[in-house]
Chains A and B, each alone.
Chain A
Amino acid sequence: MEKIFKLDEEDEYYVPFSRLAENLDLRNLIEKLTVNLLRLAVTELPADVKKALKDAYRKERNPIGKIQLKAILENIQLAEEERIPICQDTGLISFYVKVGSEFRGLSKIEEALIEGVKRATVEIPLRPNAVNPFTQRNTDNNTGRHVPCIHWSIIDGNYLEITAFPKGGGSENMCALRILKPAEGLSGLKRFIIESVVNAGGMPCPPTIIGVGVGGTSDMAMNLAKKALLRPINKSHSDPFIAELERDLLRAVNSTGVGPMGLGGDSTALALKIEYAHRHPASYPVAIAFQCWAARRATARVYSDGRVECLSHKDRNLV
């Protein structure tokens, strides 16, 4: 007997994935979805990012900063209308995959994501960005050892959620990790963040979104910083203390005057998001992940009946 799982209050009952695997060509569905998610991600920014950029343009007082933001807004519109990648650096590609615990076709997902990336590279096209660090050879298809980077998490429920997250080199190059002394604590953390923003200047293509990961192990801190970037701009941390810290640091960062493209101005960051983990008594890791204004992400949920829903962009048909 197959179990039936309940999704949301108002949702109907869905058949678990175990049955879907037999009826549906999941491998092809996900490959196609991967191409379309990447296409959506690189050509159209999510609504929250677009809104934040428009607000920044309205508020910017520096005339040079204003010119930069205007060019950004024009660019976004052109890319969207003509279905052309927003930026020529279509990034190194990451996927965040949440998978329902009942799902049986796990091995097929990775293969489908990788094939999807190869197809997307040709069909969209994406700039080939996967280079062997020792031979300097480009694979020409955006895949290679450990890339695309796939981050898995297992969730309750019987659906699959894929976020395509192509991230450009300019902002990635500014990511920073520091293991603070526990005695430096909260002030050390604040100082490190504001210093990093000033040091990065125009390099990460501001206005940026700043992800901060605090605590855990060194690798986890950076992972959390990256995860923080996935949170919608208008969503603060659920803990009111952290939410206030996010707002306070965003204000501080925007008072540095770095401005759009580091040419001076009020809009240095659109948002600042913090995620944390408990730490070892002797260490206080802090990771900062910069995301350029071209904050590209697209998320879809695949239900067990094969229905696909786009979560990041409204009313989008992805398969």
Chain B
Amino acid sequence: MKKIELHTPISEKNIRKLNVGDRVFLSGTIITARDSAHRRMMKYIAEKRSIPFPLEGMALYHCGPLVKAHGDEWLVLAAGPTTSMRMEPFEAEIIENLGVRLIIGKGGMGGKTREAMKRYGAAYAAFTGGAAVLAAKRIKRVIDVKWLDLGLPEAVWIFEADRFGPLIIGIDSYGRSLYEEVRAKTLRRLNRIVEDRDL
């Protein structure tokens, strides 16, 4: 298993070097977006308005962090990933229009996103679900927060991260998906269990 250090902004060349199963640590800018932020980004794209944070070459993290205001600053207490599949209807268009290179989340994404990743050069990385304090430890500071009107977890948090990980590449830019491979294997095993036990 390869261990790779990545920095934002990520070039297409560097994304194309990643393969399913690689272990990655990411440094630089990570931008969070959950359901509401995705919906708003889609609206902005449709209305051809410019989005108030840079996504070109960046990492988009499916995360609604637990934060605490501390004077003028924000402290990130816990920032694990949320289920990425909820963002499936939006992500392909966001990759296409906004140039995101790395999506971070949990549980993987579907065929539409996989195809967009192949075509435009992006990848999906899994961060261990629930390992929220570990994630927060690797976030050095909150650079900015946008769209706070969406509520604290749904707002867009712009983090500076130092060796954020371990991330596992779940979908690469060649159309391979670890999730689909594991799924196919578990379905085969399920059939075998059902046959063996005559269920």
* Chain A interface (Cβ < 8 Å from any Cβ of B): 63-64, 67-68, 71-72, 74-75, 78-79, 82, 84-90, 125, 127-128, 138, 168, 170, 173, 187-188, 190-191, 194-195, 198, 201-203, 205, 252, 255-264, 292-294
Proximity bits, B78-114, A CB within 8 Å = 1, else 0: 1110110100000000000000000000111000000
Q: Which of A75, A87, A264 contacts B178 (CB 8 A)?
A: A264
B199 lies within 8 A of chain A by Cβ: yes
14 A-B pairs whose Cβ atoms sit less than 8 Å apart in the complex? A71-B131, A72-B128, A75-B130, A78-B133, A82-B133, A86-B133, A88-B132, A198-B187, A201-B183, A252-B193, A256-B190, A263-B126, A263-B182, A294-B130
Contact A262 B182 (CB under 8 A): yes
Given contacts A86-B132, A262-B108, contact A194 B190 (CB under 8 A): yes
Complex Cα spacing A99 to B187, Å: 45
CB distance from A131 to the nearest CB of B (A): 10
Q: Which of B63, B189, B194, B199 contacts A257 (CB 8 A)?
A: B189
CB distance from B157 to the nearest CB of A (A): 12
Please name all residues of chain A whose beta carbon is closer than 8 Å to the beta carbon of B185 when the two chains form the complex: 257, 264
Contact B186 A258 (CB under 8 A): yes
* Chain B interface (Cβ < 8 Å from any Cβ of A): 1, 21, 23, 63-66, 68, 77-80, 82-83, 85, 106-108, 126, 128-134, 136-137, 151-153, 166, 168, 170, 178-179, 181-183, 185-187, 189-190, 193-194, 197-199
Contact A84 B126 (CB under 8 A): no
Complex Cα spacing A178 to B35, Å: 29
Contact A127 B66 (CB under 8 A): yes
Complex Cα spacing A79 to B131, Å: 9
Minimal Cβ-Cβ distance residue in A for B127: A71
Q: Which of B21, B68, B130, B183 contacts A86 (CB 8 A)?
A: B130
Please name all residues of chain B whose beta carbon is closer than 8 Å to the beta carbon of A195 when the two chains form the complex: 190
Please name all residues of chain A whose beta carbon is closer than 8 Å to the beta carbon of B64 when the two chains form the complex: 88-89, 127
Minimal Cβ-Cβ distance residue in B for A190: B199
Q: Which of B1, B66, B137, B189 has the most C-beta atoms of chain A within 10 angstroms of its own C-beta?
A: B66
